[in-house]
């Protein structure tokens, strides 16, 4: 079940809110949320619900053990080590087991038969949440949670369990047992959810469909004919296809975060922002402060800083960055293209750290923004194709090396039919609408502007819901890219 499905929007979520409203106290409300969250997770993969329960139980017990030890003692460190072994061990088996077997089979002929291990939905996200919780208990930043059901609610809450944002326990610790909702935040939550739904159903899906038609779908990319498809594409098809993919991956993932944040507000949870218009950045360094903020901050606080961060020698700092970006790439998927994608950004971050960043800050903003968009654009080429030969074919085709010319009638026709949706998607990646809304709300544009804003507050959520419903009815194309991570 995904947020952008009619079943979720018109049945699951309304039922959840109905039961939640009539629950008499916070403990009953938490039981409602826990039951709905476990049902939501089990909807697609009931077997792997046992894995979620088992990992949460192990970390609950280990955190209770750590909390009883002297702060940062040897016994407490042993508890953290055990938690890392359990969580990372299971993540390694389910997410990377097949990858390692494929590589050892290719190199050494062992094992004779590679086992295809299914990837449990959301395991990368809830594993990191559990790890952050245990480490924070060890650091004495939060007390160990006494109730298993409360910790399970934190981990499994359907708002963010399967695709983030990665919510730290310390950020919601108080709200797990003490939260309330006022009308203003309820309205904000509904608006945020419906805008996210519209961003996904109206824009991300349209961009994804265009990317698939100009390049190929993920299913095609895994097939034997992928290379023959790519080498026969004219250059413009590849450029526009990758632009559409670039827009899709942001709109898709940020829309999911919008909907999660909105649903949290509806019941009194305040999740932190996960995206801050990253394509408006002026450097790769800034981009990674704005893109998937919860993941970037996790690696910063639980890997980079413990390794020494930047408060060390230059050589050590380079090593720390290398480790973080190898892990960042590998977190996204068990494939060499993701590792190379992480190294790709590591190189640019390193170049910026040792001189380029100062030049970008002093230079014209239009040049620095163009530089960032170009770097990220080609990074998404590496990100999209697990088969590295397809990366090479795409890059060659973009610069006319495949011998198919710049464009053809079919590409031009499809582009003309989709130019409006591309322009709207590009605007949606900027803070333009948000800034206009803020000016209207502040009365900066006069009384008419204030009246327009008050009307939009009512009309926009309804319009987004209706338009999204129309887009989703009978449309089988509704992928969600980050389920694979």
Which one is catalytic: 105, 178, 292, 332? 332
For the question of residue 332 being annotated catalytic, the response is yes
Token pair for 18: 């109905």
What is the gyration radius of the CA atoms in the chain, in angstroms?
Answer: 23
Burial class (CB in 10 A: 0-12, 13-18, 19+), 290: middle
Q: Residue 270: CA atoms inside 13 Å, Cβ hemisphere, count?
A: 11
Give first-to-last CA distance, the chain, whole Å: 16
39, 75, 123, 250 from 156: Cα distances, Å? 10, 28, 11, 24
Could you give the count of Cα atoms lying within 13 Å of 60 in the half-sphere of its Cβ? Answer: 17
Which tokens in the block code for residue 198? Answer: 């519209």
Q: Is 363 helix (H, G, I), strand (E, B) or coil?
A: coil
Length of the chain: 485
Q: Would you give the DSSP letter of residue 420?
A: H
Q: What is the rounded CA–CA span in Å between residue 172 and residue 157?
A: 12
C-alpha 443/C-alpha 459 separation (Å) is: 19
SS3 273: coil
Q: Which two tokens stand for residue 43?
A: 């909807």
Alpha helices (H) in 178-269, listed in sequence order: 183-198, 205-214, 218-221, 226-230, 235-266
Helices and strands of the chain, counted as H and E runs: 25, 0
At residue 3, what are phi and psi to the nearest 5 degrees? -60, -35
- 28's tokens: 């009953």
Nearest-angstrom CA–CA distance, 377 and 130: 33
Task: Count other Cβ atoms within 10 Å, centred on residue 90.
Answer: 17
Name the maximum alpha-carbon separation found in the chain.
Answer: 75
Provide the Cα torsion 382, 388, 390, 393; round to 10°: 90
Active site residues: 332
């Amino acid at each position: 079940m995904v947020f952008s499905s009619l079943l979720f929007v018109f049945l699951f979520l309304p039922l959840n809110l109905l039961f939640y409203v009539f629950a008499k106290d916070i403990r009953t409300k938490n039981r409602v949320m826990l039951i709905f969250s476990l049902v939501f997770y089990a909807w697609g993969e009931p077997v792997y619900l046992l894995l979620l329960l088992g990992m949460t139980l192990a970390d609950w017990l280990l955190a209770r053990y750590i909390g009883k030890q002297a702060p940062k003692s040897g016994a407490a460190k042993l508890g953290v080590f055990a938690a890392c072994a359990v969580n990372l061990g299971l993540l390694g088996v389910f997410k990377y087991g097949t990858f390692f077997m494929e590589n050892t089979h290719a190199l050494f002929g062992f094992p004779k038969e590679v086992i295809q291990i299914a990837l449990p939905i959301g395991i990368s996200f809830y594993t990191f949440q559990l790890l952050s919780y245990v480490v924070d208990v060890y650091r004495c930043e939060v007390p160990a949670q006494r109730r298993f059901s409360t910790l399970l609610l934190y981990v499994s809450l359907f708002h963010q369990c399967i695709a983030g944002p990665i919510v730290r326990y310390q950020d919601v610790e108080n709200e797990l047992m003490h939260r309330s909702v006022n009308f203003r935040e309820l309205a904000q939550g509904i608006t945020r959810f419906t805008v996210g739904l519209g961003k996904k159903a109206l824009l991300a899906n349209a961009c994804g469909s265009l990317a698939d038609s100009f390049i190929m779908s993920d299913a095609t990319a895994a097939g034997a004919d992928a290379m023959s498809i790519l080498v026969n594409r004219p250059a413009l098809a590849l450029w526009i296809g990758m632009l559409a993919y670039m827009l899709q991956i942001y709109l898709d993932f940020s829309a999911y975060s919008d909907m999660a944040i909105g649903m949290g507000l509806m019941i009194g949870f305040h999740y932190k922002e996960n995206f801050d218009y990253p394509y408006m950045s002026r450097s790769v360094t800034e981009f990674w402060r704005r893109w998937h903020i919860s993941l970037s901050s996790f690696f910063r606080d639980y890997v980079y800083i413990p390794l020494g961060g930047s408060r060390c020698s230059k050589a050590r700092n380079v090593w720390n960055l290398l480790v973080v970006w190898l892990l960042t790439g590998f977190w996204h998927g068990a494939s060499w293209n993701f590792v190379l994608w992480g190294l790709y950004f590591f190189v640019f971050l390193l170049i910026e750290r040792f001189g380029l960043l100062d030049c970008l800050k002093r230079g014209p903003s239009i040049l620095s923004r163009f530089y960032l968009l170009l770097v990220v654009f080609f990074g998404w080429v590496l990100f999209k194709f697990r088969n590295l030969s397809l990366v090479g074919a795409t890059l060659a085709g973009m610069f006319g090396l495949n011998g198919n010319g710049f464009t053809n009638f079919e590409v031009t026709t499809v582009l003309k039919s989709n130019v409006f949706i591309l322009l709207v998607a590009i605007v949606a990646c900027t803070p333009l609408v948000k800034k206009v809304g803020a000016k209207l709300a502040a009365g900066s544009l006069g009384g008419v502007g204030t009246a327009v804003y008050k009307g939009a507050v009512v009309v926009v959520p309804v319009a987004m819901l209706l338009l999204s419903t129309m887009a989703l009815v009978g449309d089988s194309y509704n992928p969600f890219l980050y389920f694979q991570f």
